[in-house]
Chain A
Amino acid sequence: MSLTPQLVLFEEDHKKLVAVSERLTHDANAKAVFLIDRNGQLVTEAGELKGIDTTSLSSLVAGNVAATTGLAKVIGEPDFPIHFHQGERDNVHITLVAQRIIMVVIFDDRSSLGLVRLRVKKAGQKLSQIFDEIFKRAESDDGADSPFAEISEDDIDNLFSD
């Protein structure tokens, strides 16, 4: 149906991604780290901001990245791979990883932009490797082990029988 394969995340992928995100949160002195796919779906979260509305955050970050990527193309750039929003208390650092994933780091004055940039670079390389494996697997996968392969029409109908 689409040019890019479905993103399928297994337990072990999730663990690896959370481990890198938690390490980054610690090393960068950040409040939180989120990995979001470019379509606005939250992949993982780490840090102290777990109570916030991550669904809204993910959708808005993806919209923001989509709009700035569109803007980049208008002025002849392929992309703006790094975005930084400075607030009164909290700041947001956004980077693209493995083309399809957005890494969001939220930090305050316990950290600095320089430190975040440094740590993000290192974590980004590790995350790229993990996501490359996930995407490679998705491309070679024929969808046979999708949880939806075995569902019946009745299962779908039951969802709507209110």
Chain B
Amino acid sequence: MAFINYSAREINCKLVYYGPGLCGKTTNLKYIYEKTAGEAKGKMISLATETERTLFFDFLPLSLGEIRGFKTRFHLYTVPGQVFYDASRKLILKGVDGVVFVADSQEERYEANIESLDNLRGNLREQGYHIDKIPWVLQYNKRDLPNSIPVEELREALNPTGKILDFEASAQTGTGVFETLKALAKLVLTELKRGNK
């Protein structure tokens, strides 16, 4: 649910990075933070455990530029991926405008991806959203690892209709990170244009 502020001439949108534990959600945000010019980004906040696993969320505010005199600001959040943090994931999804689902391409995480996408579907449904009705994109992360399975297999499991925009990525090196973000930002703005509330 975007916040349109005529007084500050700003549009604020909330994007959430979702996916199984250790799939690279935080690494996506860290890369975006590192590669974004100072004036376009705010402080990155990570609420993490002592072992640097996400405990509640990571947060990164970004400014993308102006559209017709309105500043477009995106608030990027990650959820904690570990299964037992489901209550926190539900909280972070509230008011979401778009989702990046980060899938882990490693063979041993195949089932975890499917479970996490089901979990996303369920948590959205609980809040009255339907996954087919919100802007979302898929990222097949860790493509650089030797144990990654072919994209076709991941696509068959996670994007069987092929209707969802999907991207190959390696968040560690940055490959595909900005492509994913831009695609989602575009979908969200297009949704706003439609005025579909």
Contact = CB atoms under 8 A, between A and B. Distances in A.
Nearest to A10: B6
Interface of B: 1-8, 11-12, 14, 42-43, 45, 47, 56-57, 59, 61, 64-65, 67-70, 72, 75, 87-88, 90-92, 94-95, 127-129, 133-134, 182, 185-186, 189-193, 195-197
Contacts of B195: 142-144, 146, 148-149
Given A70-B91, A148-B195, 9 more contacts: A1-B133, A1-B197, A6-B4, A9-B5, A43-B5, A59-B61, A147-B4, A148-B11, A160-B185
Contact of B1 (A15, A39, A55): A39
Contacts of A160: 64, 182, 185-186
B177 to A, nearest CB: 14
Contacts of A3: 127-128
A2 B1 contact: yes
A88 interface: no
Interface string A55-84: 110011001001101100000000000000
Given A56-B42, A146-B192, A156-B193, A7 B4 contact: yes
A1 B12 contact: no
Interface string A5-18: 11111110111000
Nearest to A60: B45
A5 B196 CA distance: 10
Closest 3 CB pairs of A and B: A143-B195, A39-B95, A14-B7
Contacts of A14: 5-8
Chain A interface bracket (under 10, 10 to 19, 20 to 34, 35 or more): 35 or more
B180 to A, nearest CB: 12
B197 A5 contact: yes
Contacts, number: 143
21 contacts: A1-B196, A2-B1, A2-B127, A6-B2, A7-B3, A14-B5, A39-B3, A39-B14, A40-B75, A43-B3, A59-B45, A63-B56, A66-B94, A67-B88, A143-B197, A144-B195, A147-B11, A149-B195, A157-B186, A159-B64, A160-B185
Contacts of B90: 70
Contacts of A59: 45, 59, 61, 75
Nearest to A37: B3
A156 B3 contact: no
B3 A6 contact: yes
A151 B4 CA distance: 14
Contacts of A56: 42-43, 45, 59
Contacts of B45: 56, 59-60
A117 B70 CA distance: 37
A11 B12 CA distance: 16
A104 to B, nearest CB: 17
Residue among A60, A143, A147 with most chain B CB within 10 A? A147
Residue among A6, A10, A53, A153 with most chain B CB within 10 A? A6
Contacts of B57: 63
Contacts of A149: 193, 195
B115 to A, nearest CB: 22
A29 to B, nearest CB: 27
A14 B182 CA distance: 31
